Amino acid sequence: MILLFQPMNEENARFVLSWRYEAPYDIYNPDSDDVSEDLKIFLDPKNAYYSMTDEQGNVVAYCCFGPEARVKGGDYRSDALDVGMGLRPDLTGKGNGLSYVKAVIDFGRRTFSPSAMRVTVAAFNTRALRVCEKAGFEVKHVFRREDDGERFVVLERMM
């Protein structure tokens, strides 16, 4: 599978913001009340959002690097590049997650040259946790998000 990364543009951001996941994964659905605020976040270069397209140019996933990938309440004091990503809803649960995560790791390594990478995953999302562990991430700590008490797991991977 060949994935192409490009800085997020408005068309791709609007497409990603239209994605809707089934429960319990619906916590990843964007807040549709104010798309303009979400667009600003996705398009601000300091947030390092990238769309990921397949060989046919279809957006299949997206990722971001840096503080935007953090969840309030976590301990992010260690020196690691934070990574967030989302897979198009119709592609989830098909057994290809590791390929996407490896592609993001490779792109992040080439682009940012970090000594370590860190991901934060909702604790109930056992599929994502399994994939991250297969990709070499190790659990560092578990915490509850400040605003709603949702549990999250922080994992890190040395480069």
| 79, burial (CB in 10 Å: exposed 0-12, middle 13-18, buried 19+) | exposed
- Structural domain boundaries enclosing 57: 4-158
Helix axis angle, 10-17 to 35-43, nearest 10°:
130
pTM for the whole thing?
Answer: 0.94
Residue 82's DSSP bridge partners are: 118
What pLDDT, on a 0 to 100 scale, did the predictor assign at position 114? Answer: 97
* C-alpha span between 153 and 141 (Å, rounded): 6
- Residue 30 near residue 41, CB atoms below 8 Å: no
pLDDT digits (tens, 9 = 90+) for 15-63: 999 999 999 999 888 876 778 899 999 999 999 999 999 999 999 999 9
* C-alpha span between 13 and 35 (Å, rounded): 10
pLDDT band, residue 105 (cuts 50/70/90): very high
pLDDT digits (tens, 9 = 90+) for 51-101: 999 999 999 999 999 999 999 999 999 999 999 999 999 999 899 999 999
How many distinct structural domains can be found in the chain?
A: 1
* C-alpha span between 31 and 133 (Å, rounded): 29
CA distances from 82 to 8, 57, 89, 118 (A): 17, 26, 22, 5
CATH number at residue 60: 3.40.630.30
